[in-house]
Amino acid sequence: MQLLTRADLTGTNAKQRRYESIPLPWDSSSGIRLRSLTAKEHAQFEASALTRKGGINTDALVRMKRRLLALTLVDESGNLILSESDIGAMEDTDGGLVNWAYGEACKHCRISESEVEDLAKNSGAIGSDSSASDSPKNSESPTAT
């Protein structure tokens, strides 16, 4: 086995992305193309679910799967096909398609399900700046007149 060198980790070759085309399991004539994340993009993806106080941003956690797809789905030329603004637009996309593509993107980018599960588990133990509740915040409470 040949060990990686500093140049392998910081040089030009280290900055090349990996790409993979994967057919849909239910329609082999269609598929997706994925690109790998850089170390910086991977860290930013994980950090996107955290608040500045170290808590969990539940809104970001809910969008996490769609956000990873926006960061990894590319066309034949390697150009991203989705943007940050498309994340909300994918809310009504078939959940089975999103879940399948997210699973493939996790495998391609070496993101383990346990990383995401750990964030979700910790969301109950750590305070959150964002709540899924529709109840009013203290400042929104009605006042008696």
CA dist 41 and 64 (Å) reads 13
Domain ranges in the chain? 18-123
Does pLDDT of 139 surpass 80? no
Q: Higher pLDDT residue, 62 or 127? A: 62
**CATH superfamily name and code, 18-123:** Phage tail assembly chaperone gp13-like (3.30.2220.20)
Q: How far, in Å, CA of 143 to CA of 62, rounded?
A: 33
Residue 123 clears pLDDT 70, i.e. is over it: no
Q: Which two tokens stand for residue 129?
A: 């700046």
Single-letter amino acid code for the residue at 63 = R
Residue 3 has a pLDDT of 95
Identify the CA nearest to 60 among candidates 69, 47, 71, 72.
Answer: 47
Could you read off the pLDDT of 85-117 as tens digits, one per residue? 999 999 999 999 999 999 999 999 999 877 766
What are 70-88's pLDDT values in tens digits? 999 999 999 999 999 999 9
**Is it the case that residue 129 has pLDDT exceeding 70?**
no
